[in-house]
Structure formats: C-alpha cells, structure tokens
Amino acid sequence: MSTQASATKDRGMPRVAVIGAGPAGMMAAITAAGRGAGVTVYEKNPFAGKKLRITGKGRCNVTNDCTPREVLDAVRRNPKFLYSAVYRFGPSDVMSFFEEAGVPLKTERGRRVFPVSDKAADIQQALVRKMTLSGVKVRYNTRVDSIYRDDGTWVVCSGSGKSTADAVIIATGGVSYPGTGSTGDGFRMLKRLGIRITELKPSLVPVNTAEDFAGLSGLTLKNVTLSVFHGEKCVFRELGEMLFTHFGVSGPLVLSASANMQDYPVAEYTMKVDLKPGLDREDLDARIIRDLSKYSAKDFVNSLSDLLPQKLIQYIVGVTGIDPRKKSRDISRAERGTLCEALSGFEITPVSFRPVDEAIITRGGAEVDQIDPKNMEVHGFPGLFVCGEMLDTDAYTGGFNLQIAFSTGRSAGEGASDIMRRKEKVKKTKKETKVDFTKIRVAIDGPSGAGKSTIAKQVAQKTGLIYVDTGSLYRAVGLYMARNSIDAYDEEKIVSELKNVDIRLEYSEGKQHVILNGECVDGMIRTEEVSYYASAVSKIPKVREFLMNLQKSLGDAGGVIMDGRDIGTVIIPDAEVKIFLVADAEERARRRYAEQLEKGQDVTFDEVLKSIIARDEQDSSRDVAPLKPAEDAVTLVNNRTIEDAVNFVIDLMKEKAQ
Ligand code: DC
C-alpha cells in the first residue's frame, strides 16, 4: 500500500522553486514540501539564513508572544494585507514550530521571544533541519539571475543552468544588510516582469547626528528612555538600550525610533535621552548632592563616576558648561539644576538616516495590491509568489518583522503547493470533452460505505461513462428472499428460488434502475434488512454465478464504471482502471449514518457501525470472491475531498484513454 500511496502523492506533485533561503523562503519551502511538493531552494550564499544569524545581535528575536491582532497593530505599513497570513500562522504557531523543532524558547521584556540558548544559529539550524527532513533540496552558492514563464511553466535561470518549476516563490529579502546577500535581486526579477515596487527606504536604521559622538563611540547605555519629538509632539518614547557610534546613534531604541521617524525629513525630529529614568527630578537632585559631598574635595569632573559611565562624564560636563576643574563642594544649586537637565534631557539632533544597506529592515517593496493576501500569489502571474521582506510591509522591532516573514512564507508555501490542483482544474475544464472514454472500463471495489458509489457517480457524470452499481443486484436478490420470508442463511432454498428471480438493469438519463421481476425496486433495496440479506446471499457461489453474466456483459460493452467487491478481480479482470477504495470503519459509519438520517431511518450510530463491521467481516471472509484488491489495483484512501478523489480517478482514465 505504501508504494501506491506514494504513487498517489507523485501524481500531480508540484515542483516548487524557492529563491532565497532566509526565514520566509525556508518557511515557504518547509510548508510546500510538507504538503507534498517537490521543493528546490536556490541560495546564493554557501549556507542558509545568513542574515537570520545576525539578527537580534546574534540572539534572534523570532517573534513576539502576543496575539495576531497585536502583531497587526505593530505593523506600520499595510497591516490589512497581512491579516489572513498572520491569523493563519501567528506567534503561537511560530513558537510551537520551533519548540517542536527542538529549540526551546524564552520570552523577555516587551514579550520578545528568543531561543533559550540566545543563539540565532539554533533557529537557523532548526529551519535547515526541517528543510532536510521534509525533503527540500537546497542549491547553495547558486544565484538566480532571472525567471520567466514559458507555456504555463516557470523557468528559473541560475548559475547552474535553467530548470523548470510549476511555482516560484521569491523570498530574497529587502535591500538592507547587503553583506548578507540582501542585495535586491528579487526586486530586479519582479521589476522585469512588470511588477510594481515602491521606493525602497531604510527602516529600523541607525541615525547620523549633528553632535560628534566619536569620543563616545562604542558606549552602550542600558535602561535609558529615548523620546523622539516632531515639534512639540512626542512620536516615540521607550525604555531600553542604545549605542553611540562614530556617526551618531544606533542600538535597539534608535532602530525602533527610526520606524517612527518616517513621516517628515529626519532633521525635523529631535531626540532626548533620559539617562536616569528611574529617578524623578527630586530624587536625582538628592542623588547628585550625595555624590558631590562624597567627592567634595575633588574636581567636579571627577565626582560623577558613580552616576555615569566614564566615557560620558566629559561629554555631559561639557554640555552643562560648568568648569570641570571646579571643586565639587563649590557646585551651586543652579549648576545642579543644569546637570539634572542634562541627565534627564540629554539632547541628540538627528540629521539623516544611515544608508539603506545599514538598515535592518527595508521599508517598501512589492506593492501589495498586486498580491493575493491569502497565498501571496502575484495577480496575473499564476504560480508566482512573493513573501517576507520583499512585500511592502514593515513593523516595529520586537520580533514582528520575523513573524511577518514566517506568516507570509507559510502562506506562500501553501499557495505554491496547491498550484497543481488549480492547474488540473483549468486543464479539466478545457480537456474533458476531448478524451474518448467510450472504451474505458473502470472497476471500483472496496468495503461497504467507503464512498464508491458517490465517487463512481461523479466520475460517470463528468466523463459520460455509465455507472453500474453491482451491489444493487445482490440487494435485489436479497429483497426477493426477504419478501418471501426465506431464511437468509438457507443456502439451498435461496439457490432453488433463483429460477423465479429475474433481474435487469435499465439506464435512463445516466441513472440506473433495478427491475426485479418487472418491478422497479430502486426505493426498496437500501434498508438495513435488505443490506443484511444482500450480504448473506452474496456469499453463495450460485448467486454470484447467477449475477455474473449480466455484470460481465455490461462490463464488456466498455464505457462503464462499475463498483462492487469483485469487479477488478472477477467481473472485468482486464479493466483499464482498477481502484480499491478504502476508508476506516468509523468514517464509513459516519457517512452511512448521515445518509440514513437524511432518509428518515430510525438508527443509531452504533448500530450502523456494528453492521458495517459485520458486513466487512462477511464480505472479506467468504470463500467465494472475497473482498480484496486486485493485484494491479490502485489503492485510494478516501480521506480526501470527493472532488480530489474524483479527479484522481479521471486522471487515471485519461492516461489509459490516450
Ligand atoms: O455495495 P453494496 O453495499 O450495495 O452491496 C451490497 C452487498 O452485496 C454487500 O454486502 C456486498 C455484496 N456485493 C458483492 O459481494 N459483490 C459485488 N460486486 C457487489 C456487492
């Protein structure tokens, strides 16, 4: 059965090319492969997740432990577009994904989620491992130059030549951190196809300042509050960590702030840092008085080492304008006030953002009105998907941007793996009438209630075959015996009665009618009693023989789909298509129970289940024509949608009809 199962999987398995092994691309690849696609990832670096490894200062803030709604609230651009993706695969899904992949996680301040190990490499390796386990092939050191569409198939041109795919997922990231490979290759490919890209700007980017902080370069301030103003209006205020650099300021607080400094020229904003946010004005003054008296005999510049990092002292003293050589005991109340001011309102004057290649996140990207928010497919380009940072969406820091990469990667992976089903649909509507099925014989065997008749009827309807329900012949014999009060297990009596039984099948408008001794008995053969009789009489070789010729002659005519128990093994052993349809007993009982309730029959679920199990037992243990798959039958497990199963059978028919 396993080979048949995989044969089922291979059929219609889409080939998906993913360009870029970053978080979005890897998630897309894992998702598509997990849903049966054959996935190849193209990565120009010698390993996957290069930028991922340096995010969160090498600790990787994978997501934010919040609700999907809160993720959307943290999205600055196009939150509505992300609704479906984030609700379908939200923070809790990302966390379970990594925990299940063997990476324990922890939640820190601001609900930022990190690996317990504090190693971004653990996240990267988990994704790579998952790719391997799902059968994803990764071509490292392979840069994709272009993609184009040729007769419904995508062609991927890379350093290693051309290859084809049913779907392409572009996940090459933004243009930030080009050293990690994010050089905008994907944008170029999209532009060439005519897909609109908005202006690419840095977001989450360090800031050049008017002040020369070169002397403070490398100094990190922890637990400070950074406020950003536009005029009087405070546009950002957060407690955290920031960093002085040779050009200005950086660090998590500054990066977050930069996302809020997008509406006006950067130079219109002002920044203030409260170096002692835990102390109010009075407490701060008291603290300064204590330090000044402790170091009363020392120069002012040497009295601040308990309060401030060494590097900062000179700078702050400079800001206050107080003579650094003045003795601490001589510092006046007004001078203390100036110092307090400088400490709680340390001023920074932003001039510009650092260039986009130093930004963590690219603002802008593929305009989202061209993309289907459900599966990230580009409208008008069937089979082309875009995800992750390439989309014109971005969020504040806190794990939200990676969450967006995972959510949109997931959606794209789902969309790409569904591509064949959609292609098939298109093909089917186009080709259905062209294939000649008049010679085809389809046998569908399987236990009672597996869904044979439902599938057979639909196949017949779609392909013009005649559907022959052979079970109804046994049912008609059973009905005759029941009506004549013949013991269901009195074999001799049943056989001797057969001479009085005349059964015919008639077809009109694609429907089969069972005629027993001249009477149409369609409405009488589906009761539990008749089912019981049918099962009993079908064990008798003479009954089977009695019905054999009728069935064989129907089968021989071709253009039929017959369901039963021995169609592929006995009635038409050389049928072009043989299916053995199975479903577990409970599932079958559920279906039958629902049918019977619909017909107003008074049964319980348990009764239906028991009778199904009993009939399975009878049908498969009888000496003559026991229920079993023909050797060359394809086993079809009916746990899929009816439409899928029907299409599966029609595909097999097409192969044989050609
Ligand atoms: O498919 P069904 O439930 O309508 O079939 C009624 C009975 O007839 C069932 O107990 C099995 C038997 N049967 C059979 O033995 N061989 C067939 N080809 C069709 C039905």
Question: pLDDT tens across 466-482, in order?
Answer: 999 999 999 999 999 99
Instruction: Give the distance (Å) from ligand 1 centre to CA of residue 623.
Output: 15
**For residues 498 and 553, what is the distance between their CA atoms, to the nearest angstrom?**
19
Would you say 352 and 187 are in contact if contact means Cβ atoms under 8 Å apart? no
Domain harbouring 653, CATH code: 3.40.50.300
Spatial CA neighbour of 451 closest among 320, 595, 555, 257:
595
Q: Would you say the CB of residue 538 lies under 6 angstroms from ligand 1?
A: yes
Proportion of the chain above pLDDT 70, given as a percent: 95
Q: Per-residue pLDDT for 594 more than 70? A: yes
- Asked if residue 451 and residue 591 are part of one domain, the reply reads yes
474, 522, 537: residue to mutate for ligand 1 pocket, most atoms within 8 A of CB: 474
Chain mean position to CA 464: 37
**Nearest residue by C-alpha to atom 13 in ligand 1:** 471
- Asked if residue 602 and residue 546 are part of one domain, the reply reads no
Q: For the chain, what is the total number of helices (H) and then of strands (E)? A: 22, 30
pLDDT band at 427 (very low <50, low <70, confident <90, very high): low
**In the prediction, which pLDDT does 8 show?**
32
Would you say 459 and 442 are in contact if contact means Cβ atoms under 8 Å apart? yes
Please tell me the total count of domains within the chain. Answer: 4
- Residue 358 falls inside a structural domain: no
pLDDT digits (tens, 9 = 90+) for 15-54: 999 999 999 999 999 999 999 899 999 999 999 999 898 8
User: Given 499, 529, 557, which residue is the final one in a domain?
Assistant: 557
Q: Per-residue pLDDT for 286 more than 70? A: yes
**Nearest residue by C-alpha to atom 11 in ligand 1:** 535
**For residues 387 and 184, what is the distance between their CA atoms, to the nearest angstrom?**
13
- Asked if residue 58 and residue 47 are part of one domain, the reply reads yes
Instruction: Give the distance (Å) from ligand 1 centre to CA of residue 470.
Output: 7
User: Given 325, 353, 381, which residue is the final one in a domain?
Assistant: 353
**In the prediction, which pLDDT does 546 show?**
95
φ/ψ (deg, to 5) at 154: -90, 140
- Residue 479 falls inside a structural domain: yes
Spatial CA neighbour of 471 closest among 569, 563, 355:
563
- Residue 68 falls inside a structural domain: yes
Q: Per-residue pLDDT for 634 more than 90? A: no
- Residue 408 falls inside a structural domain: yes
Q: What angle do CA 206, 228, 391 make, to 5 degrees?
A: 55
Task: Kindly state the average pLDDT of the residues 260-274.
Answer: 94
Share in percent of the chain as helix, strand, coil (round to 5)? 45, 20, 30
pLDDT band at 426 (very low <50, low <70, confident <90, very high): low
Domain harbouring 276, CATH code: 1.10.8.50
Q: What is the pTM of this model?
A: 0.56
pLDDT band at 1 (very low <50, low <70, confident <90, very high): very low
Q: Per-residue pLDDT for 10 more than 50? A: no
Proportion of the chain above pLDDT 90, given as a percent: 68
- Asked if residue 494 and residue 634 are part of one domain, the reply reads no
**For residues 581 and 446, what is the distance between their CA atoms, to the nearest angstrom?**
5
- Asked if residue 329 and residue 252 are part of one domain, the reply reads yes
φ/ψ (deg, to 5) at 351: -115, -45
- Asked if residue 548 and residue 412 are part of one domain, the reply reads no
Would you say 642 and 581 are in contact if contact means Cβ atoms under 8 Å apart? no
**In the prediction, which pLDDT does 236 show?**
94
**In the prediction, which pLDDT does 633 show?**
84
- Asked if residue 524 and residue 594 are part of one domain, the reply reads no
pLDDT digits (tens, 9 = 90+) for 379-404: 989 999 999 999 999 888 889 999 99
Tell me what the pLDDT averaged over the chain comes to. 90
Poorest-pLDDT segment among 164-168, 258-262, 433-437, 643-647: 433-437
Instruction: Give the distance (Å) from ligand 1 centre to CA of residue 561.
Output: 15
In this structure, is the dihedral angle defined by the CA atoms of residues 270, 275, 278 and 284, taken in order, positive or negative?
negative
Q: Per-residue pLDDT for 11 more than 60? A: no
Instruction: Give the distance (Å) from ligand 1 centre to CA of residue 575.
Output: 19
Would you say 619 and 535 are in contact if contact means Cβ atoms under 8 Å apart? yes
**In the prediction, which pLDDT does 639 show?**
64
Poorest-pLDDT segment among 236-250, 285-299, 418-432, 627-641: 418-432
- Coil, strand or helix at 463: helix
- Asked if residue 375 and residue 391 are part of one domain, the reply reads yes
pLDDT band at 276 (very low <50, low <70, confident <90, very high): very high
**In the prediction, which pLDDT does 466 show?**
92
- Asked if residue 221 and residue 341 are part of one domain, the reply reads yes
pLDDT digits (tens, 9 = 90+) for 201-230: 888 899 999 999 999 999 999 999 999 999
- Residue 359 falls inside a structural domain: no
- Asked if residue 213 and residue 195 are part of one domain, the reply reads no
For the CA of 531, the closest atom of ligand 1 is 6
- Residue 56 falls inside a structural domain: yes
- Asked if residue 214 and residue 191 are part of one domain, the reply reads no
pLDDT band at 112 (very low <50, low <70, confident <90, very high): very high
Residue type present at position 83: Y
Q: Would you say the CB of residue 471 lies under 6 angstroms from ligand 1?
A: yes
Poorest-pLDDT segment among 349-353, 490-494, 503-507: 503-507
- Asked if residue 180 and residue 113 are part of one domain, the reply reads yes
Query: What residues make up the domain containing 595?
Result: 431-465+559-658
Residue type present at position 468: V
Task: Kindly state the average pLDDT of the residues 344-350.
Answer: 96
**Nearest residue by C-alpha to atom 9 in ligand 1:** 535
Alpha helices in 435-584 (DSSP H): 452-463, 471-483, 491-497, 528-537, 541-556
**For residues 303 and 84, what is the distance between their CA atoms, to the nearest angstrom?**
58
User: Given 537, 557, 577, which residue is the final one in a domain?
Assistant: 557
**For residues 653 and 11, what is the distance between their CA atoms, to the nearest angstrom?**
13
- Residue 566 falls inside a structural domain: yes
Instruction: Give the distance (Å) from ligand 1 centre to CA of residue 564.
Output: 6
- Residue 426 falls inside a structural domain: no
Q: What is the DSSP letter of 355?
A: P
Q: Which of the pair, 586 or 294, is modelled with greater confidence?
A: 294
For the CA of 448, the closest atom of ligand 1 is 3
pLDDT band at 184 (very low <50, low <70, confident <90, very high): confident
pLDDT digits (tens, 9 = 90+) for 609-630: 888 888 888 777 778 878 888 8
Q: Per-residue pLDDT for 5 more than 50? A: no
**In the prediction, which pLDDT does 373 show?**
95
Q: Which of the pair, 111 or 601, is modelled with greater confidence?
A: 111
